[in-house]
Amino acid sequence: MTQEEADRKKNRARLQELASIGIAAMGIKSVMDDWKDVHGTHEDYKDQRHAQERRREKKSEKERSRSRHGDRRHSDTDLRLR
Instruction: Give per-residue pLDDT as tens, 12-50.
Output: 999 999 999 999 999 999 999 999 999 999 999 999 999
Burial label, 11 (beta-carbon count in 10 A; 0-12, 13-18, 19+): exposed
Per-residue CA distances from 21 to 18, 25, 36, 74 (Å):
5, 6, 23, 74
Query: Is the pTM above the cut of 0.85?
Result: no
Chain-centre distance for alpha carbon 81: 54
Per-residue CA distances from 15 to 12, 21, 27, 42 (Å):
5, 10, 18, 40
How many domains is the chain built from? 1
- Domain of 19 in residue numbering reads as 3-81
| 82: pLDDT strictly greater than 60 | no
Q: Mean pLDDT over residues 61-68, rounded?
A: 88
